[in-house]
Amino acid sequence: MAKKVEHLKMDIEGQPIPFLLHREYRNSVRFAVGKKGILIRIPKFYSKKDAFNEINRAVHWVKSLKVKKPRILDRYILRTYSTGDQIQIYDRSYTINLEEYSNLNKYSRANLKSGIIHIKLAETDPSLKDKTLKTLLSRVISQDCLPEISRRVKELNHLHFQQEIKNVRLKYNHSNWGSCSTKGNINLSSRLLFAPLDVQDYVIIHELAHLIEHNHSPRFWKLVKDAMPDYIEKEQWLKINGSKCDF
């Protein structure tokens, strides 16, 4: 039976932060910072008043946590775009030209011309607008940056691994930073474009090492360390700053 989850928005210093209230078969209450929001886990038998009290307690917990970790909530603050906004990737600056229209027979689309991303956004469910816009931006910018990323993958492969690579792709996803297949396909998250170059190199090296060792065994980590001795620093950077790498 699916767990009952209540989605809430709570104001934290002027920002609407998502909270997810889980009613479960448990005897205790637990708060945690999750990928999609602040998690509140309470016993299934709690009354509405009990739940309300725990939500308030969770808000105070988050505020205290933010004092220690000021950027802890950055992952939940959605970036919005309008015409004239710019996105900086490497030494490239992309300017957004956004046009919305209500013709239901047309689809949202985007193209890049002379550094300007022209976006025609079809009228849709407001809850899907941000996702559609981010997907379009990712698609256009990924296409522009892919040749440079592909070159770097081949350079690092030649330097450290000498494996056969079939394709390199940039995909907009949040489930991982990269993946590889036994056929030699390297997939990298387009969100990685917002990370420093040495962090990008770490993710590329990580996936290239998987072409030799398809697990996270000691042998795999030795391959990674031989190619990048300070790889742990790059992992830490992603853990701390990864949520800010997004369109």
The predicted model gives 111-136 an average pLDDT of: 85
Residue 3: the pLDDT is 62
Kindly report the CA angle at 130 between 63 and 185, in degrees rounded to 5? 100
pLDDT in tens, 175-188: 899 999 989 999 99
The predicted model gives 12-39 an average pLDDT of: 92
Residue 123 has pLDDT above 90, yes or no: no
Higher pLDDT, 100 or 193: 193
Mean pLDDT of the chain: 91
Residue 38: the pLDDT is 96
| Domains of the chain and CATH, by start | 4-76 (no CATH), 86-244 (3.30.2010.10)
Residue 78: the pLDDT is 73
Question: Which of 13, 16, 6, 28 lies closest to 64 in space, CA to CA?
Answer: 13
Confidence of residue 1 (pLDDT cuts 50, 70, 90): very low
Confidence of residue 127 (pLDDT cuts 50, 70, 90): low
| R_g over Cα of the chain | 21
Residue 47 has pLDDT above 90, yes or no: yes
Residue 2 has pLDDT above 60, yes or no: no
Residue 70: the pLDDT is 85
Distances (CA, A) of 118 to 59, 93, 97, 136, 209: 40, 14, 5, 10, 38
Alpha helices (runs of H) in 117-230, residue ranges in sequence order? 126-160, 197-210, 218-227
